[in-house]
Amino acid sequence: MSAQIISGTEIATQLRTDLAREVAALADEGLVPGLATVLVGEDPASRAYVGMKNRAAAEVGIHSRQIDLPRDIDEEELLGRVEGLAADPAIHGILVQLPLPDPIDEARILAAIPPGKDVDGFHPVNVGRLSQGAHDVLAPCTPRGIVEMLVRSGHDPAGREVVIVGRSNIVGRPMASLLLRRGAGGDATVTVAHSRTPDLGAVTRRADIVIVAVGRPGTLTADMVKPGAVVIDVGVNRVDDPSTEKGYRLTGDVDFEAVRAVAGAITPVPGGVGPMTIATLLSNTVQAARSLREAGRNGTSR
Ligand code: NDP
């Protein structure tokens, strides 16, 4: 048996096409969703990510603004810039690219983003509401993109046994909250494993769907997968490869070739979860623009 390959690239393209249509309809109503990205310092990987996000936003018609700030920016000044964006009515989504350089207090900067503009879904209010099961909440992009990918590829998690490997605030924990919600995209039976889980294989072998977000190649091997299971590989790891021009290649956390022979469906790296994360950021920005307009009409704000 060879698994179905779930192409995040293809599903993200569908999602972006749908979004472009939605953004055009909103523009006709006089609402142009706006996304601001804040990049502090010159880290090449962060610069590349922010560039991709802005290009993707522009392609679907979202107004995007990139704010580049020097590495040695004073924390108060950075806070002032974020507060300025928080008050700007043309901006509906604010993304501060992490990690921020030392000694800036990341939590303090993120807390200055109003929950309604928190398109990364990291604000404690959004994290709390998501874990309470709210649906009208901005949820972190990677796990939300994974839910979308599962549903759109015919693997609705409802009623399925899902094992998540990794308990980070960016992937594992919000992934569990999303899958536990009642209703669309949720209703799964969820287990979260981590580095202190004694026999990881015994846990993952129970799963109809395994989601691996660890950051170590070869974490999930073929013997750890139930035949026919769906395998979602979140990991992005650089491994040396002198045969490539750059001297390295990207690989996930899953032993792809061997697991592919056992699984029912599997995501590749690259071309799996990554494109979904960016498409979901755009989707969150559109959701934020709609909600802020609604809150403005009702005279409420969140
Ligand atoms: P973190 O380092 O924050 O978390 C890793 C998690 O894996 C931790 O919970 C850790 O457990 C667990 N872990 C480590 N070793 C083992 C092990 N041997 N067995 C079981 N669990 C283990 O990573 P992130 O969640 O931020 O990212 C994970 C991966 O996903 C990275 O490769 C990252 O690059 C990638 N990623 C990809 C994205 C995309 O869009 N494609 C987006 C975000 C991340 P413990 O808590 O006990 O330490």
Q: Which domains, and CATH codes, for the chain?
A: 29-114 (3.40.50.10860), 139-274 (3.40.50.720)
Please tell me the predicted confidence (pLDDT) of residue 296: 85
Residue 153 token pair? 């590829």
Please tell me the predicted confidence (pLDDT) of residue 301: 54
Distance 8 CA to ligand 1 centre (A): 19
Please tell me the predicted confidence (pLDDT) of residue 200: 98
Atom in ligand 1 nearest the alpha carbon of residue 171: 25
64: β partners: 35
| pLDDT tens digits along 101-116 | 999 999 999 999 999 9
Kindly state the average pLDDT of the residues 218-242.
Answer: 97
Residues whose CB falls within 8 Å of the CB of residue 93, separated by 6 or more in sequence, listed in order: 33, 34, 35, 36, 117, 119, 281, 284, 285, 288, 289
Q: Does ligand 1 come within 6 angstroms of the Cβ of 45?
A: no
Is beta strand 189-193 parallel, antiparallel or unpaired with respect to 161-165? Answer: parallel
Kindly state the average pLDDT of the residues 190-218.
Answer: 98
First to last CA, the chain: 50
Q: Does ligand 1 come within 6 angstroms of the Cβ of 234?
A: yes
Distance 96 CA to ligand 1 centre (A): 20
What pTM does this model have? 0.96
* Spacing of C-alpha 296 from chain mean position: 27
DSSP SS3 for 210: strand
| pLDDT tens digits along 258-290 | 999 999 999 999 999 999 999 999 999 999 999
pLDDT at 169 over 60: yes
pLDDT band at 297 (very low <50, low <70, confident <90, very high): confident
Kindly state the average pLDDT of the residues 69-92.
Answer: 97
Distance 176 CA to ligand 1 centre (A): 14
Residues whose CB falls within 8 Å of the CB of residue 177, separated by 6 or more in sequence, listed in order: 130, 131, 133, 139
Atom in ligand 1 nearest the alpha carbon of residue 237: 32
**114 vs 159: CA distance, rounded Å:** 35
**160 vs 163: CA distance, rounded Å:** 10
Q: Is 132 an annotated catalytic residue?
A: no
> What percentage of the chain has pLDDT greater than the value 90?
96
Kindly state the average pLDDT of the residues 11-34.
Answer: 98
Please tell me the predicted confidence (pLDDT) of residue 298: 77
- Of the residues 97, 208, 253, 255, only one is catalytic, namely 97
Q: Does ligand 1 come within 6 angstroms of the Cβ of 280?
A: no
Q: Is 120 an annotated catalytic residue?
A: yes
Report the chain's mean pLDDT, rounded to a whole number.
Answer: 96
pLDDT at 5 over 80: yes
pLDDT at 300 over 90: no
Q: Does ligand 1 come within 6 angstroms of the Cβ of 172?
A: yes
Q: Is 53 an annotated catalytic residue?
A: yes
Q: Does ligand 1 come within 6 angstroms of the Cβ of 274?
A: yes
